[in-house]
Structure 1
Amino acid sequence: MEDLTIQITEEMTGERVDKAVSSIDEDWSRSQIQSWVKDGFVKVNGLTVKPNYKVRLEDLIIVTPPAPEELDIVAEDLDLEIVYEDEDVLVVNKPKGMVVHPAPGHTKGTLVNGLMYHCQDLSGINGIIRPGIVHRIDKDTSGLLMVAKNDAAHTSLVDQLVKKSVTRKYIALVHGHIPHDKGTIDAPIARDPKERQNMSVVDKGKHAITHFQVLERFGDFTLVECRLETGRTHQIRVHMKYIGFPLVGDPKYGPRKTMDLGGQALHAEVIGFVHPKTGEYLEFSAQPPAYFNELLESLRNKG
């Protein structure tokens, strides 16, 4: 990974150096940056500093990320639900509770472990810990993911994501009674400046658009279909909270009193894309898991 140079601006002046650096890349956590600062991987004007150092105007910060930890990724028979597969792509229905790819301290039981057992031909563009992975969904979100089986397919699918031509529809159960039948949330997302482990709507965040449509109402709850135009981290969860209708069961963005579902009631129901080789548009759907359907039935019966 190449060195990153950060020139401090007036807006950043007075911030702790670990906060200033972590705001640059949403994949870097505050605790990770603090560790790098202590170990000398972050220098200010050529000198090592403490994590609580307050940056000054025109300070020059150079971040030299340490080499990633080598992970021993093993193939595991995880009985994946493969919805579609050919020599270029596959579509898998990821269960709730499964992490998409390995990370330090979590090298087993991920979707990647299962994919490596299922097939040997996966694209290598994202390296050894993310073979074939084109996009992600959260651990406790269930549903459809497209996977690339070679680099040409990977490049094509990523290009479609960038051009916003991939169809991605989710169903979500949210708190509250949404009075209007449909709407669009256009609000930029970035790391929450106060809670670095969370994402939030931030003025200078990355462009993010979610379209939603009400499917069913249950008094104090509403079932919605959300269509992603962009794919920011936790986008649906953050956007629905932003308009006052947080997801049921969401431990990070939901209200304090919510249902204990072991995670948010969110399911990636539809994925559609142009096949990288044939040029044909393909679209797939997957029913939500049993717990989701049972929850909806219980709400209908109460009504």
Structure 2
Amino acid sequence: MDVPVPSVAVPSDAPALPPAAKRPVRARPGERHIRSRAVTVLAAALLALPVGAAVAGPFLADAVAGPDGPPYALGDGHLLGTDGLGRDVLGLLLRGGPSTLGVACGAVALACLLGAALGLAAATTPRRWVDEALVRPVELILPLPSLLVISVVGVRWHATPLAIALAVAVLNVPAVTRLVRAAALTAAGGPVAEAMRVQGESRLRVTLGYVGRSVLPVMAADIGTRVAGAVFTVAAANFLGLGLEPTSADWGVTVAANRQALLVQPWAVCAPAAMLVLFTVGFNLLADSLLGRRGTRKRKVAG
């Protein structure tokens, strides 16, 4: 015999039940791969012009650039016009890349080497006083204004590209050291590193073979921002007259020297500024794309 079930009246002002939680829609591996490839292609396209100009430009400048002419002239045998000294702007673009990109990239590479060495040594040492002795003196550089340091170096060593690169590298060492030390502390005190020590592995192998490899993704993510910051610092120093000579073909110097004629001869300012923008954006996109691919490969292996 069926027992009737009493109906329950639901008040009209009763709150509606929340909808069932939906799982977030994730991009399929094929879609992620296509997006990563697209970002890599875009980054390569952005980097092609400034990097190509920096590498091959000095060899092509004499053949491509036109002769000197009147200041801030447009046309008259000059594809991008002339600057305030009558020099061909296209020739300046082809000659100014090595000093701009070479100084910034060289400074970041040196800062990463020194900062990684100090950070790994501080994170893997069993003695706390060694950690303090390595990190605390380096942190004294952090509050120093970058442009002030570059101006002092420029006056003392006549603003050579090598001197400016060393100054930018020294300014970046403290941040890299702190980043690497913080990222390496977990790996250095983890079970894998402890097992390697118990098995008799050398300290150098534990530091470089395991702990050093564990901080590579963090450093790769940081390098993109650091290179962009170094390019900006070098360009800003040159723009303010604290870096290279005012007659240099450097892109930052060219922007600074011709900024007052932006409305008269825009190519003299916009062309080198575009080179700086293309390089910084392209480099960051490339670093993000490579880091994303590495994370995808790790997830595939783990799965």
Question: TM-score, normalization: structure 1?
Answer: 0.24
Which structure is richer in relative contact order (CA contacts within 8 A, separation 6 or more)?
A: 2
Q: Which has the larger radius of gyration?
A: 2
Question: TM-score, normalization: structure 2?
Answer: 0.24
